[in-house]
Chains A and B, each alone.
Chain A
Amino acid sequence: MSTKTKTVERNGTSKSSEDTSLWSKAFTSNSDWPDKEEFLDVVYWMRQFIGIFIGILWGLIPLKGFLGLSLFMLINAAIVYFYCVNFQNINEEEYGGTWELTKEGFMTSFAGFLVTWVIIYSGLYHE
């Protein structure tokens, strides 16, 4: 029953009070996540920031070619995996296995990474 009310609340408008605690929960090790959607949202947004950050970094270095792409995928998957399994110690099976977690928001983050990488790279090195 408790899960039911929580989810209904989340889909409603009363989000603001949860937001502050969500930040601290996301950065605290072994937090309790009664609402799975909340945790998946944290993973999703984390992915977006990682994507943009790595995109800027690769553009500035500049890292080129297949190495840049594969390094991004490796780092992105590794960070999320370690965050879920080692930092938050969640049970992957509850979320449909490691694969579900690894692919959460991956395409969006990949697109964000490519956009920032291409923009910074071509802006700085090709006038």
Chain B
Amino acid sequence: MWADTLLIVFISICTALLGEGLTWLLVYRTEKYQKLKTEVEKQKVEKQSKRLEKRKETHGDSFYKQHKKKIEREEERLKINNRDLSLVKMKSMFAIGFAFTALLSMFNNIFDGRVVAKLPFLPITWIHGISHRNLPGDDYTDCSFIFLYILCTMSIRQNIQKLLGFAPSRAASKQGNSIFGSNPGQFK
């Protein structure tokens, strides 16, 4: 079993690197993406420092309203920039997604019906479909290729993104939350 499991880890490292390489080629290195990214980061930092400033000051109602309006305007701009950023990313993500689906079905065929590992726990029922995919027998601790591959990709891909500095910054990903459900106490 060592050979199969280690091979799957190797495959997912390769596909993660390939995916990141392709994304770099199609998205990250483009001028448009970089410009938008720096702008979003800059705006986020500005927003944070302004919020800090606001907290320090004690002032009247009119000043508060004025400030609030300004912040709201900037947030609107940030929202638009963020949307553009995701649009730039999305197109190539689709292309990469298709390529990887093809690659995955190829590996699926190679490992079809093969128990690649033994799980040390019994997965919950709704995971059986993935963990026991195309495997003979009723022993649900048998692990299929796809389950191990998904787990490997989950851990390896994000770590590689982080190591290479391609991971979306927390500032940008948090922005999504604050658009839809604004942080309580944000304008206090």
Nearest residue, chain B, Cβ from A93: B185
Chain A interface residue count, Cβ-Cβ cutoff 8 angstroms: 36
- Give the chain B neighbours of A63 by CB distance below 8 A: 120
Which B residues, 34 to 73, have Cβ-Cβ distances below 8 Å to chain A? 38, 41-42, 45-46, 48-49
Within 8 Å by CB of B118, from A1, A44, A51, A126, lies A126
- Give the chain B neighbours of A51 by CB distance below 8 A: 155
- Give the chain A neighbours of B2 by CB distance below 8 A: 119, 123
Is B170 close to A, CB under 8 A?
A: yes
Let me know if A126 and B121 touch, CB within 8 A.
no
Hey, what's the 0/1 contact readout for A83-127 against B, CB within 8 Å counting as 1?
000000000000000000000000111011011011101110111
Which B residues, 12 to 46, have Cβ-Cβ distances below 8 Å to chain A? 38, 41-42, 45-46
Contact residues of A: prevailing secondary structure? helix
- Contact of A40 with B49 at beta-carbon distance under 8 Å, contacts A65-B122, A107-B154, A119-B117 already known: no
Let me know if A122 and B143 touch, CB within 8 A.
yes
Q: Which residues of A contact B (CB under 8 A)?
A: 1, 3-4, 7-8, 11, 37, 40, 44, 48, 51, 58-59, 62-66, 68-69, 107-109, 111-112, 114-115, 117-119, 121-123, 125-127
